[in-house]
Each structure stands twice: as C-alpha cells, then as structure tokens.
Amino acid sequence: MDLFDSELRVIAAAEQLVSGLGSDDNHTVAAAANAGPLVTIAAVGDWNRGVLAPCGRCRQAILDLHTDVLVVVTDDTTGQTSIAPIPALLPQTYRHPDSAPAQLL
C-alpha cells in the first residue's frame, strides 16, 4: 500500500527529530504526528534504522488515548512501509471500557 503525502511527512518529521538526538543510550527513537486530531503516527530509530513499530508500552499508551490512530510500520519480510490500525498491533490488549481518554493539553 502506498503511503499518502501526509503520512510521508510524518515519517520525515520523525527522521529529522531522531537525527538530533545525539549519542544518548536512553533516547534512540523519535515519534512524530500531524497537528490536530491524531490520525497517523510514525516512530523512527536512530543511526538510520528507519521506521520502527512502537514498543509495547507505547502501543498501549497510543491505544488508550487514540483508539482509531493509524501507525506506520515496516514489513519485516519485504521492507515496505505500510499502515496498521493500533488495535491490530495489540490484538489481546487490556482495555478500560468504562474510561474515556484524558484530554492532553
């Protein structure tokens, strides 16, 4: 699946952020999202690792706050980037059915 220009801009923004991290072992991935309602998010690793799937903790936080967000991921077999809905990345996740996500300021 080809990515939209807006999704490619999100990846480019994450790449720009990660290039400025320096050599800090605690900060090796940067994420970016468009302004406004969160629709698509991308994480990019340092040292030219490219697009990475979010870690488990990030996946859960994204799902808790933005249940409909799309995540840019890389297929391990083809190396192609594609889009996956966040619930597909956590198919057996714990959910809070009674709680509404907090508003981020």
Q: Which helix (H) or strand (E) holds 72?
A: strand 70-74
**Chain centre to alpha carbon of residue 65:** 13
- What total of structural domains would you count in the chain? 1
Q: Which domain holds residue 26?
A: 5-89
The Cα 39–Cα 9 span in angstroms is 13
Task: Give, in order, the Cα–Cα distances in Å from 21 to each of 15, 25, 52, 56, 64.
Answer: 10, 10, 16, 22, 27
**Do the domain assignments include residue 65?**
yes
> Looking at residue 80, what DSSP letter applies?
-
Give the pLDDT confidence score for residue 88 in this predicted structure: 93
Give the pLDDT confidence score for residue 86 in this predicted structure: 92
Per-residue pLDDT of the chain (105 residues), as tens digits, is 687 887 788 788 878 877 777 776 766 666 666 666 778 888 888 888 888 888 888 888 888 888 888 999 998 889 899 999 999 998 777 666 555 555 555
CATH code (residue 11): 3.40.140.10
